Amino acid sequence: MKKRHESPDIDWAHIPFGYIKTDYNVRCAYTNGEWGEIAVSDSETVDLHIAATSLHYGQEIFEGQKAFRGVDGKIRIFRPEENAKRIIESAKGLNMVPLPAERFVEMMEMVVRLNERFVPPYESGSSFYLRPLEIGTTARVGVRAADDYLFILFGTPVGPYFPDGFKPTKVVIYREYDRAAPCGTGRWKVGGNYAGGLVATMRAKREGYSAVLFLDPKEKKYIDECGAANFFAIKGNKYITPKSNCILPSITNMSMQQIARDMGLEVECRPIPPKELREVDEAAECGTAAVASPISEVYDSDNDVHYVIAKDGKPGPVTTAIYEKLRAIQYGREPDVYGWMHEVKL
Ligand SMILES: *Cc1c(COP(=O)(O)O)cnc(C)c1O
């Protein structure tokens, strides 16, 4: 497939965190017990059987990662091997056939290379979001796993998450909603988890919050995570983050823990009761989209308690330092001492 070269007419610094059509996506189908060749497509749609298991029984898993054009002009993907490992776990969780990790990374590189003209320039602060997904495609009405799967990988340029600067937002606790069950699908990146959290999330937005802070579904005693992001807090010299089997293990969180340790902080991964929010100095959500999004206040709606964390409404110094450090590594401004950045040779 031919690469296109002309620069698209895009105002790079002002694109939304949305979807912009690019030139190509790549696909790989699993049929008759094996993965086929990787196919390049310029279509934005899929032709799916009306009885496909993904449509009825939710056999759908996905990933999210970003590629960055660095200060040196090179394009690098952040830790794609970790996404490859995680989607294998998600596939096993839903009884789907996992795509081999090497194939996953190859597909990621192909999408970046084929759509190079859509990878935003370094100066814009924008990046190229990569969205891998896998669906069960076998036509089946009885509840059973599919025999056939389709893996799709597309990309789209995305703007800076904080176009007006890194600003804290408020989140809310509602005990009447759960996003996932203990021993359920919470630790996998499954579309259904998002669907199950939408009523709570849309209510939070209507009520003026940026997200729901879900509690552990079994006892409602501890903080789990936000619908699409992990939670962490800074308490004195500690980086604390919840330990729970309902949480999606965030690659951003894992990376920030490493940075925190290197900054001399102690990392504690343990259950965190909401009451402890009175004692924390900073709190944030973290994930690929925003990297870190500081939390100014957690409102416990069932007890009518406001945990005000950022009294001055500004992001805390430790969260800011970790955020800046990770962004600098991603854009190639700081040495990649951990080997996180996967260069895409053009
Ligand atoms: C994707 C996701 C995250 C963030 O993970 P990253 O690897 O950091 O992007 C957190 N929680 C949930 C539920 C997610 O789906």
Ligand 1 binding site (Cβ under 6 Å of any ligand atom): 64, 189, 225, 228-230, 248, 250-253, 287-288
Residue to mutate, 250, 251, 327, 330, ligand 1, most ligand atoms under 8 Å from C-beta: 250
Alpha-carbon distances of 119 from 70, 131, 183, 319, 337, rounded to whole Å: 11, 14, 39, 27, 24
Atom of ligand 1 nearest to the CA of 251: 7
Atom of ligand 1 nearest to the CA of 186: 13
Distance 287 CA to ligand 1 centre (A): 5
Distance 255 CA to ligand 1 centre (A): 12
* 208, 148 Cβ separation under 8 angstroms: no
Distance 33 CA to ligand 1 centre (A): 30
Distance 253 CA to ligand 1 centre (A): 9
Distance 247 CA to ligand 1 centre (A): 9
* 24, 1 Cβ separation under 8 angstroms: yes
Q: How far apart are CA 241 and CA 270, in angstroms?
A: 6
Q: How far apart are CA 130 and CA 155, in angstroms?
A: 4
Distance 94 CA to ligand 1 centre (A): 17
Q: How far apart are CA 249 and CA 245, in angstroms?
A: 9
What is the separation, in whole angstroms, between the first and last Cα of the chain? 14
Atom of ligand 1 nearest to the CA of 83: 7
In three-state secondary structure terms, 198 is helix
Smallest CA-to-CA distance from 282 within 302, 297, 299 is with 297
Contacts of residue 49, Cβ cutoff 8 Å, sequence gap at least 6: 137, 138, 139
Within the chain, which residues score under 70 in pLDDT?
A: 1-2, 163
Where are the strands (E) in 227-311, listed by range?
A: 230-235, 238-241, 266-269, 282-287, 291-300, 305-308
Atom of ligand 1 nearest to the CA of 254: 8
- Looking up tokens 């630790």, which residue turns up? 187
Q: How far apart are CA 232 and CA 319, in angstroms?
A: 9
Distance 142 CA to ligand 1 centre (A): 31
Distance 249 CA to ligand 1 centre (A): 7
Q: How many other CB atoms sit within 10 Å of the CB of residue 311? A: 8
Residue to mutate, 83, 179, 189, ligand 1, most ligand atoms under 8 Å from C-beta: 189
Contacts of residue 68, Cβ cutoff 8 Å, sequence gap at least 6: 75, 76, 78, 122, 127, 128, 330, 331, 332
Atom of ligand 1 nearest to the CA of 179: 13
Q: How far apart are CA 55 and CA 172, in angstroms?
A: 31
Atom of ligand 1 nearest to the CA of 289: 9
Distance 248 CA to ligand 1 centre (A): 6
Q: How far apart are CA 33 and CA 36, in angstroms?
A: 10
Residue to mutate, 288, 291, 323, 327, ligand 1, most ligand atoms under 8 Å from C-beta: 288
Q: At 116, give phi and psi (nearest 5°).
A: -55, -35
Atom of ligand 1 nearest to the CA of 287: 8
Work out the widest C-alpha separation in the chain, in whole angstroms.
Answer: 60
Q: How far apart are CA 14 and CA 126, in angstroms?
A: 8
Q: What is the pLDDT of residue 2?
A: 65
- Supply the angle between the helices 251-262 and 80-93 in degrees, to the nearest 10: 130
Tell me the Cα Rg of the chain.
Answer: 20
Q: What is the pLDDT of residue 166?
A: 83
Fill in the amino acid letter for 341. M
User: What pLDDT digit, counting tens, does each position of 75-88 carry?
Assistant: 999 999 999 999 99
- Looking up tokens 């951990």, which residue turns up? 338
Residue to mutate, 81, 161, 246, 248, ligand 1, most ligand atoms under 8 Å from C-beta: 248
In three-state secondary structure terms, 193 is helix
Q: What is the pTM of this model?
A: 0.97
Smallest CA-to-CA distance from 107 within 125, 134, 127, 126 is with 134
Q: What is the pLDDT of residue 1?
A: 60
Distance 55 CA to ligand 1 centre (A): 23
Where are the strands (E) in the chain, listed by range?
A: 25-31, 34-35, 39-41, 60-62, 65-69, 75-78, 127-136, 149-158, 169-173, 211-215, 223-226, 230-235, 238-241, 266-269, 282-287, 291-300, 305-308, 341-343
